[in-house]
Structure 1
Amino acid sequence: MDSLIKDAVKSGTPIDGADGLLTELTKAVLERALQTEMTHHLGYESRDPAGRGSGNSRNGSSPKTVTTVNGPVDIAVPRDRNGSFEPVIVPKRARRLGNINSVVLSLYSRGMTTRDIEAHLEEVYGAKVSRELISNIT
């Protein structure tokens, strides 16, 4: 994380936005948490000899885009060979994290239409959210 901050300062990376520091930090935190969950699930660290012959092991990762209050974040979700890994921090099939539902409900309760909310989320968070999804949340 320290290296992300140093690189951002050197390159003049903005704090927010799609390519901003907050997006990169969110990605790093989520991916580290997912790796920790995988280690707990398997019962051994990555590349640990104790995992040999255990019947299950790491099997790469799958790309996933999740919408956070800082905008969309592309992450790599680890997989296991048996397909039994069920992440908690970023659940399977979840596409929205954090308070994004609360943001939508708050805007709706203040009288914004689904079109207004759609435009606001794209403008402020860089998140493309359909009107149907907004209707489902509200």
Structure 2
Amino acid sequence: MSSSISNSDLTNQLEDLLRGFIKEKLELIMREELTNFLQVEQPDVSDSRNGYYKRSLDTRYGKIENLSVPRDREGAFQTGLFAPYQRRDGWLEEAIIKMYQSGMSTREVGKFVERMVGSSYSPATISNITDATVEDIEKWQKRPLAKRYSVLYLDGLYIRLRRDTVGKEVIYLVLGVTEDG
């Protein structure tokens, strides 16, 4: 009698192993951060370890449950791995922005996110995330330009377009470098 593991079972086992490994390493890093905080950053303060609190963190590798975050008695320690109330690393927001930029609607992005992480984002939340990026782009576009440039780079890119008269059209890219960098 031979027993075999299906591909999906093997994939699930590998994903669980990876999440376990990541959880273990995150907890190790946080313990070392607390040790450094108590011994190096605040050696004269009479502060000490005060156990752990549990939290979950959504990462690009899946949801890490029951992550043990160390704490100190004074409540002054904060890990550098994530913000105090952060529940996700930035990968999801970056993915949402890229999907939206590639032409997916906010509803399509919301459905995709729900399939990926199990929690849903409303179209309004997705719009808010992408609006923040649009604001950054507009600020960059409206920034003041230097009066003199010491170097000017020019480049062109042919892109196929669907128009009545044009098969290909050049888009020119310009990069200017000022004397101070």
Normalised by the length of structure 2, the TM-score is 0.56
State the Cα distance separating 1:61 from its structure 2 match. Answer: 1.2
Aligned to 1:60: 51
Q: Corresponding residue for 1:116?
A: 108
Contact residue 118 and residue 130 of structure 1 kept, 8 A: yes
Name the residue aligned to 1:28: 24
Whose RCO is larger (CA < 8 A, sep 6+)? 1
What SS class does the counterpart of residue 15 from structure 1 fall into? helix
Deviation digits for residues 66-106 of structure 1 (CA, Å, limit 9, x no counterpart): 21112221211111100000111122122221422211111
**Same amino acid, percent of matched pairs:** 30
Q: Counterpart in 2 of 1:93?
A: 85
Question: Would you tell me which structure has more strand in proportion to its own residues?
Answer: 2
Deviation at residue 22 of structure 1 after TM alignment: 2.1
Corresponding residue SS for 1:116:
helix
Counterpart code for 1:35: R
Q: Which amino acid aligns with 2:57?
A: V
Is the 1:118–1:128 contact (alpha carbons within 8 Å) kept by the matching residues of 2?
no
Counterpart AA for 1:27 = K
Deviant stretches of 4+, over 6 Å:
none
Residue 142 of structure 2 corresponds to which residue in structure 1?
none
| Residues 113, 121 of structure 2: 8 Å contact kept | no
Deviations 1:98-133 (A, max 9, x none): 422211111111222333223222323x34142254
1:72 to 63, 68, 85: 63
1 CA distance for matches of 2:95 and 2:111? Answer: 13
Residue pair 1:56, 1:82 contacting (<8 A) in 2 also: yes
- Paired amino acid for 2:18: L
The 8 Å contact of residues 72 and 127 in structure 1, kept in 2 or not, is answered as no
Q: Determine if contact 2:114/2:121 at 8 Å carries over to the other structure.
A: no
Q: What residue identity is the alignment partner of 1:63?
A: K
CA change 1:54–1:88 in 2 (3 A) is same
Secondary structure of 1:14's counterpart equals helix
Return the offset for 1:54.
Answer: 5.7
**Root mean square deviation, CA, Å:** 2.6
- TM-score (norm. length: structure 1): 0.71
Greater Cα radius of gyration, structure 1 or 2 = 2
| Distance verdict in 2 for CA 1:23–1:134, change over 3 Å | farther
Distance in 1 (CA, whole Å) between partners of 2:98 and 2:84 is 26
Question: Any conservation in 2 of the 1:67–1:127 contact (CA below 8 Å)?
Answer: no
